[in-house]
Structure 1
Amino acid sequence: MTINTTYLTAPTADLTDLQDRFQPVFDKVAEGNVERERRRVLPHEQVRLLNDADFGKLRIPVERGGLGASLEQTFLLLADLGAADSNVAHIWRNHLAFVEDRLNAPVSDTNDAWIARFLDGEFVGGGWTEANNVTLANMTTTVTARDDHWVVTGSKYYATGSLYADWLDVIGRDSDGELVAALVRRTDPGVTLVDDWQGFGQRTTASGSARYDGVRAERGNVFPAAERFTYQPHFYQIAMLSVLTGITRAALRDGSAALADRKRNYPQGLAEKPTDDAQLLQVIGEVSADVFAAGAALGLSARSLDGIVAGRISGDDARARQRLIDAEVAVTQAQLVIIGSALRTTTNIFDALGASGVSEGFALDRHWRNARTLASHNPRVYKARILGDWLINAKDPVPDLAARGRGGQGD
């Protein structure tokens, strides 16, 4: 048994209190969502609004100046934000993950400084994935020791949130070939960020290119990648599933409002008014069931990560591996449930609306485009097979992507 020497503590927040605190902020974020999506207006103001409201402090313990939220509470709130604006919710993924990493790190002056930065509202963007089929196994970005600092050189893609960030979390190889993560300031000389994301969805997440040309990183801001928190892949995946869950809610909300406004029904309809048509109401009811399933899967899978944290806090090392496997299974099952729900919801809602539902004024297509884009980041096509192999053959489902030479952090 190991004594907890990290910043992790048992959560103390109440979900209702957190929702009461943040829903008015989410409502403000939702304002202008359609116009930002239509014109590709980057939501700098909305990200700052959330930061000023302490959204970035959710997981930091109360005694250290944070809000003391559990992981389940954090991801449920991220889904609420996703319902307001899925682009803004996705932007927060990398920041929340790096906060979680530092909470898992040993207490030290260096990590105290990072906690203080989070409390001051400093924001972190991502820089792990490289384009052109580069994986962790053949990554070309370098992080080289030089005198009293490090130098970062390389290019990244899928740099989600970087244009909104104060810091960029960049992975590369040191002179010994070991993977390290370096934190550099977005405004440092040699950093170039380009909003060249070409996806048809998530168009304002700034998930484009980042280039680093001899960028300085201080000694205290470079960490061995092998020491990142063990449930990091699960955290990244659930964050994405939170956004997808939010999209299902948004599709139900906006589709229901569009049906309620319909005045004319088709000749084949069962009632003169669309709102009295049993078949159209059935569509809404079925969509609502998918929304319910997504929310339930999100909560249960996120709770499995809280189990990992509880074991870490208590020093129960004996079951650490089993808790990680349990989380892998739960998150993978949730991925299948939530992606399926999101794609059905954002498609089937149109069956209740007719031709008027495709009006650009409603912009309901954004929900499908955003859901389809997010669902493509970590392909679900392999997931059911992995689950079956675990359930039938007891093959460990926890991937070692770096060792297999196939993986990265995910898009």
Structure 2
Amino acid sequence: MTTSLITSDAQALAVAEDLARHLQGGSALRDRERRLPHAELELFTRSGLWAISVPKAYGGAQVSNVTLAKVIARIAQADSSLGQIPQNHFYALEVLRVNGSAAQQQRLYAEVLGGRRFGNALAELGTRTAHDRTTRLTRDGDGYRIDGRKFYATGALYAQRIPTSVIDDDGVQQLAFVPADSPGVQVIDDWSGFGQRTTGSGSVLFENVRVEAQDIVPFQSAFERPTPVGPLAQILHAAIDTGIARAAVEDALAFVRQHSRPWIDSGVDQASADPLTLHAFGRLNIRLHAAEALLERAGEALDRAQRDANADSVAAASIAVAEARAISTEISLAAGSTLFELAGSRATLAEHNLDRHWRNARVHTLHDPVRWKYHAIGNYYLNRENPPLRGTI
């Protein structure tokens, strides 16, 4: 099966809409039974959407970040796990754009245009902080060897390459684009989170894994100068949560229209006429629309930072994205919970699996603490302090 080539923002949005309608049908069942979406991912990849951020100079569409965020949000609305699986794929492509050599860009972008998926092996368990790394990269002749263990490796289970954060002999962090079929690589399906159940966010074990020098891209330096790498990662998280929120609101609307009964004191014959229900749906939709608007605004700021990366433009993008992350966190959790308050007890029946929206939001929004985003946003506006460059804001 060949991979389609998307050439414009409009085409990317249209393809995402068609694909999302197809993916939505089985999303509740895949979540309930934890059916890993191998076939669905193939459709997703062959649609050309995994290559939409490849620069035009290398044959890609180089869509705006507004479009990229809308695509991820739309897929996440259909199936939030499928919306999250490519998050680190696009993150790795941005690291490649910012820090890769021309030869590395030419080769790896061509792989993506040909339908290859990148996963990730970044985070580790048992370190002092979430950003500490112990996985080692050691010189071996004209190449290197990798030893270590990773967790939260979203997408690695489905990937042809696994971009892996490693510490070299000088203590500097690099990103190794490791072929998934390399001897000594073991991808372990041990993700047991109660949400985002089919993301494959489990472990990757590296035992004396050979990696070629051409597959090592500088990583740490992307956070030692102003680059859009951090806000690019974060806007994708905001898009996933916004998609989850949209799905929860749409399902709540449909359930109340079709199944719910009005409360006896409302004095109306239909739940859709209950004045307190109308008030609650009004609040939900306002907040959802605000999240979608802030997501688009964040994409515009990130586009500006990519065109001209400097301390001011990257800080402005980081703050805009942090604002989108904050509100998308809140509305995704609120929508997933309020759904049951408005729909009633019948909505809790297992056959509907409507709790997946809250479970998915609760798990995904734990990626990094939103409380620190409010701190960074307040510090930026009040004290004119730029947020840290490390990429978590």
**Counterpart contact for 1:250–1:367, Cα < 8 Å:** yes
Mapping of residues 329-340 of structure 1, within 5 Å: 329-340=319-330
Offset at residue 184 of structure 1 (A)? 1.0
Q: Mean alpha-carbon deviation: is it higher for 181-190 or for 278-287?
A: 278-287
Equivalent-residue separation in structure 2 for 1:97 and 1:400 (angstroms)? 14
Equivalent-residue separation in structure 2 for 1:156 and 1:63 (angstroms)? 34
Offset at residue 175 of structure 1 (A)? 1.3
Name the CA shift for 1:136/1:382 in 2 (closer, same or farther; >3 Å).
closer
Name the CA shift for 1:106/1:91 in 2 (closer, same or farther; >3 Å).
closer
Offset at residue 106 of structure 1 (A)? 5.7
- TM-score, normalised to structure 2, is 0.92
**Counterpart contact for 2:69–2:236, Cα < 8 Å:** yes
**Counterpart contact for 1:283–1:351, Cα < 8 Å:** no
Query: What secondary structure does 1:206 align onto?
Result: coil
Equivalence for 2:198: 204
Residues 65-108 of structure 1: CA distance to partner in whole angstroms, max 9, x if unpaired?
32231111111111011100000110010111112222334662
**Counterpart contact for 2:99–2:217, Cα < 8 Å:** no
Count of paired positions: 385
Equivalence for 2:21: 27
- Find the partner of 1:266 among 241, 263, 266: 263
User: Partner letter of residue 325 of structure 1?
Assistant: A
Runs of 5+ consecutive residues of structure 2 not aligned to the other structure: 1-5
Equivalence for 1:305: 302
Q: Mean alpha-carbon deviation: is it higher for 158-167 or for 234-243?
A: 234-243
Equivalence for 1:13: 8
Q: CA RMSD in A?
A: 2.1
Offset at residue 263 of structure 1 (A)? 5.9
Equivalent-residue separation in structure 2 for 1:45 and 1:396 (angstroms)? 43
Equivalence for 1:372: 362
Mapping of residues 244-393 of structure 1, within 5 Å: 244-262=241-259, 264-312=261-309, 320-393=310-383
Equivalent-residue separation in structure 2 for 1:391 and 1:68 (angstroms)? 32
Offset at residue 258 of structure 1 (A)? 0.6
User: Partner letter of residue 331 of structure 2?
Assistant: S
Name the CA shift for 1:323/1:54 in 2 (closer, same or farther; >3 Å).
same
- Find the partner of 1:232 among 220, 225, 229: 229
Residues 24-45 of structure 1: CA distance to partner in whole angstroms, max 9, x if unpaired?
1111221210111001111111
Equivalent-residue separation in structure 2 for 1:20 and 1:138 (angstroms)? 40
User: Partner letter of residue 176 of structure 1?
Assistant: D
Offset at residue 214 of structure 1 (A)? 0.7
Equivalent-residue separation in structure 2 for 1:107 and 1:182 (angstroms)? 13
Residues 350-383 of structure 1: CA distance to partner in whole angstroms, max 9, x if unpaired?
2221111112222111100111111111001222
Equivalent-residue separation in structure 2 for 1:193 and 1:220 (angstroms)? 23
Offset at residue 188 of structure 1 (A)? 1.2
Equivalent-residue separation in structure 2 for 1:99 and 1:245 (angstroms)? 22
Offset at residue 136 of structure 1 (A)? 7.5
Q: Mean alpha-carbon deviation: is it higher for 85-94 or for 63-72?
A: 63-72
Runs of 5+ consecutive residues of structure 1 not aligned to the other structure: 1-10, 313-319, 402-408
Equivalent-residue separation in structure 2 for 1:124 and 1:137 (angstroms)? 21
Equivalent-residue separation in structure 2 for 1:111 and 1:386 (angstroms)? 33
Name the CA shift for 1:351/1:201 in 2 (closer, same or farther; >3 Å).
same
User: Partner letter of residue 13 of structure 1?
Assistant: S
**Counterpart contact for 1:29–1:84, Cα < 8 Å:** yes
Equivalent-residue separation in structure 2 for 1:135 and 1:279 (angstroms)? 45
Percent of residue pairs identical = 29
Query: What secondary structure does 2:165 align onto?
Result: strand
Equivalent-residue separation in structure 2 for 1:233 and 1:156 (angstroms)? 20
Q: Mean alpha-carbon deviation: is it higher for 45-54 or for 93-102?
A: 93-102
Equivalence for 1:158: 152
Offset at residue 390 of structure 1 (A)? 2.5
Equivalent-residue separation in structure 2 for 1:176 and 1:356 (angstroms)? 59
Equivalent-residue separation in structure 2 for 1:110 and 1:328 (angstroms)? 27
Equivalent-residue separation in structure 2 for 1:47 and 1:210 (angstroms)? 20
Equivalence for 2:3: none
Pair 1:46-2:36 in alignment:
no
